[in-house]
Amino acid sequence: MAMTGMQQSPEAEHRMPDVDTVHALLKQVADPEIPVLTIADLGVLRDVRVEDGRVIVVITPTYSGCPAMKAIEDEVYRVLRDSGLEQVEVRTQLAPAWTTDWMSAEGRRKLREYGIAPPAQSGRRAGALADARTVVQCPRCGSESTGRISEFGSTACKALYRCTDCLEPFDYFKCI
Ligand SMILES: [Zn+2]
């Protein structure tokens, strides 16, 4: 007797997640405030693992109470669900706290190209303010002759600076 009914592809029926695929998919998840940066560039994406067929995604906010985290979490679920991964859990891990050192070299380059000065690499923990002695390089001309205009830039994560050489104002990613 011939087989009847629809043949379901085993792939569609039982899609086993693997860590590399999830990492590749999560490249679509950007910081809502700085869309050129993925959560991996930012160092917000801490871990991807598969436990009993379930995808666990671990994220750490750049600072506690960062309003972007809910949007990031929703986007992780959406991107993975769209690829057929239903068994997903996003875990927010607050300790150890995010540090500017977790931002990738690629992330720093993208920030600069976007016109935002990347955070000074001093291993400062989230919550530490850029003080007056922090050397902030102008993302446009590279000058270190810059001054802070305001502690608050376009979002809570940025401070407003101005370059005294090219005279352009710019945002500094201050990571508080
Ligand atoms: Zn400049």
Q: What is the pLDDT of residues 109-129, one digit of tens each?
A: 999 999 999 987 654 444 445
Give 107 Cα–ligand 1 centroid separation in angstroms.
Answer: 20
Question: 106 vs 119, which has greater pLDDT?
Answer: 106
Cα separation values, 75 from 10, 13, 46, 139, Å: 27, 24, 16, 29
Tens digits of residue pLDDT in 28-72? 999 988 889 999 999 999 999 999 989 999 999 987 777 788 999
Q: Give distance in angstroms: CA of 164 to centre of ligand 1.
A: 7
Tokens 């906010």 belong to residue: 61
Identify the CA nearest to 75 among candidates 120, 130, 31. 31
CB 57 within 8 Å of CB 91: yes
pLDDT on residue 135? 83
Task: Report DSSP state, residue 102.
Answer: G
CA of residue 116 to ligand 1 center, whole Å? 11
Specify the pTM.
Answer: 0.77
DSSP 16: -
* CA–CA dist 161, 51 (Å, integer): 45
Tell me how far the alpha carbon of residue 139 lies from the centroid of ligand 1, in angstroms. 7
The pLDDT of residue 133 is 60
For the chain, state the CA radius of gyration.
20
Residues 124-136: tens digit of each pLDDT: 444 445 555 678 9
Identity (one letter) of the amino acid at 32? P
pLDDT exceeds 60 at position 7: no
Pairing of strands 146-150, 158-163: antiparallel
